[in-house]
Amino acid sequence: MKLSALGRIALATGIAVLATATLPGTPAAAAPVKRKLLPVLVEFSDASFQFPDKVKASTPDTYFGAKSDSAASYLSELSRGQYTVVPAVPEQFLGPIKLDLSAAGCPHGKINQMTRDELAKRGLVAGEDYDSISIVFPAQKTNCPWAGLATLPGPTTWINLYGTASGIDVVGHELGHNLGFGHQGRLRCTGGNLGACKSAGASHTTIMAGGYRPAGFSAPEMIRAGWLNGGASQKVTKSGVYTLRTLHGKGSGVRALDIALGGDRLVIEYRHAAGNFDAKLEGVHAYRVPKGSYGASSLIDTTAADKTAANNAAPNTDAITKLTDKASKLSVAVVSSGGGQAKVKVALNGDSLASIDAAPTKSPSPSPSPSATPTPSASPSANTATEAESDGSEPVTELGSRELTADDDSSTTLPLVAGGGAALLAAGLGFLLLKRRRGKHA
């Protein structure tokens, strides 16, 4: 089924509204971006914030606070200053704005349109006075089946607020959708055989799936955003031993290997605690990127058991030691890993791992990273819908998935598959009722 202006929805901590048939392509890395973000507090004719003063007090800290778990600090640190969000207005937010609209039925499209109408009445112009908006509203009567909603990619997030504040796991996750990141899935490739992989739920190495805070984004997502440029992402075209430094943190060096895998790509990263990220991650991780869509990658898990950092497994549980793919004549083996550095052997074109010299391969001159601009355009193009399609309430296709309980804090992932039209990865269409623990976001 090919999706066009109808778009589709994928749910995890929230919902990403995808307004195009496939994820965007990957043009050259963009220059550093400072994006004006406008949080707007919204109330309804029949529902208001229970503690409005507390919501107003918490909103600036949630989005722009100095602490590492604000949206601004989180994105700035992850991108190493290449992407920042700043307040669109001196007050750092607007509202609460009362809409002449009932909360019942989760009317997210009407909420968006009426909020934008109110901003226009106040003289605020999209694309000039603000680049993105985040609409925050009380959850008590909406019955929205999500904690957050976002255009993917696009300029809008909706936060269905329980309590008085949302955490970075919701706000950061939804802003990641705005950047073009889907929900990262997991591929179970037992024994490292890439020719026999099966979909197996959610990754736990990124905030875009089950990782949440303090996990950062994964290497494919960093490539998609344009944050691994200047040689930080190296395309591997010959067999050799390659040295990786930790994906996040300060300094230079190769942070990701990008390898052809048939029509797909294989991305290798090394994760280690750095700055405010990855305290629960360690080791070399691998991802399959379908048809070059870096925002739609899936973690490769070579184990038979479903153990992740989310259920108190060892930090290196999802790490790889060896991968093979007979079809593309590829082999990968970890030579060493730990202490902020890893060495990885890559054998191409049928070369044997044993024949590769143990000395690290000299990196070629840096070439432009295959990355997308981190600020999606609001104007119509082949990869983005019109403003009305990207943000509106017109019918969208929703993909069903499982329901989360209070004891299940992982997120459900529906991998977004690119190619000649998006593939539906669910047995049927319908609403996903996702019940996140309310206290999580209070």
Q: What's the predicted TM-score (pTM) here?
A: 0.79
**Each residue of 105-119: b (16+ CB within 10 Å) or e?**
ebbbbebbbbbbebb
Residue 293 has a pLDDT of 96
Kindly state the tokens that stand for 88: 């669109």
No. of H helices and E strands in the chain?
6, 20
Integer Cα distance of 128 and 225 in angstroms: 23
**pLDDT tens for each residue of 342-394:** 999 999 999 999 999 877 776 554 444 444 443 343 322 222 222 222 333 22
Q: Which residues pair with 334 in a beta bridge?
A: 344
Query: Which residue ranges of the chain lie beneath pLDDT 50?
Result: 1-13, 18-27, 365-442
Amino acid symbol at 60: P
Q: Which of 247, 279, 234 is nearest to 369 (CA)?
A: 234
- The answer to whether 219 and 226 are in contact (CB under 8 A) is no
Residue 310 has a pLDDT of 60
**Residue 261 Cα to chain centre, angstroms:** 22
